[in-house]
Structure 1
């Protein structure tokens, strides 16, 4: 084992001490340097709904768990926030977010997202036979009168882009999300203000019908310029609790 000369050891110790001091001084702020000012956040609605944007990013997210809500009719979004807050829809995270929010604040949130109109992502490939897609198209556009199933277009608009103020569009939604919502209506995990028209419709559809409708809807490319219709083209075939009475019903 080699013994270091005492002088060399002293020089090394002094050098290490000097380096330590100079590093500490470099890392420390100058005595006369003012501390960095904390960033000032503007109190905007967009800043307040940042937690919502974590899941419902208008430009990026559109999946079975966090669907696109941008551009949906304001009344529809408001009703869904009420449903989550008041227990008609069940999703713990959403309930936690809106549990103590008053009605006027929920209306502001609904208006914010309704005004967003980003480009839709491309429609994902759908694994369905031509026969299934045709059955889906028939149910969407014609319904099934023998089983009292109204056509989707009768409520959701001829272009399936929704109807203001409270009926959502159906295009641009993933197939898994549509299937999950039909399942939620059947299992009563999703409800709406009475009369709950979609719960009635869901109860009349077979599993094959649901798969056909969701497959056809998910395969249609949405028009980025499309907006909800201003009013139904005809009286609605069913009464729906979340839709203003002036929409009528057959």
Structure 2
């Protein structure tokens, strides 16, 4: 059986870079948080040719981002790549990641074509649910938690504007199918259970068609007590 000489790690890296068409000096990069999180930005912050299932995370409340990282690590959210990335990270480092992205200014390009058509009746139903809810089925308005401008609320409620309809629809589907969870009490799981499939489609279609104001940002605090108990708000208060 043939034997091969030992290769120093630095030499091996140079070989790999050469095969990739990169100069060896590209191996020397600054060890900054921005550099370490560049892989996240490649999926979550690109404005052109973005996959509809990768949401923007720039500018979202740090508490919300931290909670989602915890949820992936704990198995309450299921996406193998994210689970792998955070599996062995400490709470403190996840909090640092969340803080970094919360400070980035989000960028919203003009509304692009939608992946699905919507009738006026469907959009009207979506607007009603977002702005008024459905008292008979104990469904609060989206604005009651996510803010009057739907820009989110500190410390842990995300904005709902600038998200693709497919992504919003998929998240509701995950809650309805019990494949996405949050800290108990899981307020969104309860709401998703009360919404019909047609209502979910109406909400996702209406939200995804709304322009994003230039000055949209998370509110400093809820304007009034939240209509439902939400474990995520409590979790964010205990972050490192």
| TM-score (norm: length of structure 2) | 0.83
Instruction: Report the alpha carbon displacement of residue 214 of structure 1 after superposing the two structures with TM.
Output: 0.6
| Aligned twin of 1:166 | 156
Instruction: Report the alpha carbon displacement of residue 37 of structure 1 after superposing the two structures with TM.
Output: 5.5
List alignment gaps of at least 5 residues for structure 2: 1-23
| Aligned twin of 2:63 | 75
| Aligned twin of 2:197 | 207
Work out whether 1:235 is the aligned partner of 2:235. Answer: no
| Aligned twin of 2:74 | 86
Give the number of the structure with larger relative contact order, counting CA–CA contacts within 8 Å between residues 6 or more apart.
2
| Cα pair distance change 1:100/1:245, threshold 3 Å | closer
Work out whether 1:55 is the aligned partner of 2:55. Answer: no
| TM-score (norm: length of structure 1) | 0.80
- 1:154-206 per-position Cα deviation (integer Å, ceiling 9, x unaligned): 00000000001100000000000000000000111110000000000000000
SS of the residue corresponding to residue 96 of structure 1 reads helix
| Aligned twin of 1:178 | 168
CA distance in 2, matches of 1:245, 1:75: 8
2:145 to 135, 148, 155: 155
Instruction: Report the alpha carbon displacement of residue 64 of structure 1 after superposing the two structures with TM.
Output: 2.4
CA distance in 1, matches of 2:50, 2:108: 9
1:187 to 177, 181, 187: 177
Q: How does 1:105-120 map to 2 (within 5 A)?
A: 105-120=93-108
List alignment gaps of at least 5 residues for structure 1: 1-35
CA distance in 1, matches of 2:236, 2:104: 26
Supply the RMSD in Å over aligned alpha carbons.
2.0
